[in-house]
Amino acid sequence: MRKGVRALLLAYLATAALSASVLAAAVARTFSKPHAADPAIDFNAALALFAASLSVVGSTFAAGWALRSVASAGFAAAAEKPEVATWMLIMGGLAEGIAIYGLLVAILIITRL
């Protein structure tokens, strides 16, 4: 695997592990104090937070992958034909839109709580 792909995969796995640990802590608090009056996160809320974090992480990973491909191909094309530089910027903006869609999905998941 290339270094960039390895670094992105490692960042994705670290974020997923952090999200899983938050989910496990919320489940442990819910089952240890089932009738307590403290504002512990219940299992459904923790699962929704986990799904929202995976949505953001997955879309950011995909946006980074797409932007890397667009930038490398765009710079190669712009070196040969300078008039395609505008198209490179447009395609880069579309690649960044993937991350925004993931953020919107996460907001929709969280506000359903």
Q: Going by C-beta distance under 8 Å and a sequence separation of 6 or more, which residues neighbour residue 19?
A: 49, 50, 53, 54, 57
Over 80: is that where the pLDDT of 110 sits? yes
User: By the 8 A CB rule, do 30 and 41 touch?
Assistant: yes
15-53 per-position pLDDT tens digit: 766 666 666 666 666 555 555 555 566 777 778 888 888
User: By the 8 A CB rule, do 30 and 43 touch?
Assistant: yes
Over 80: is that where the pLDDT of 106 sits? yes
Look at residue 39 in the predicted model and tell me its pLDDT: 59
Per-residue pLDDT, averaged over 62-84, amounts to: 89
Overall number of domains in the chain: 1
Look at residue 101 in the predicted model and tell me its pLDDT: 92
Look at residue 111 in the predicted model and tell me its pLDDT: 87
Give me the domain span that covers residue 63.
3-111
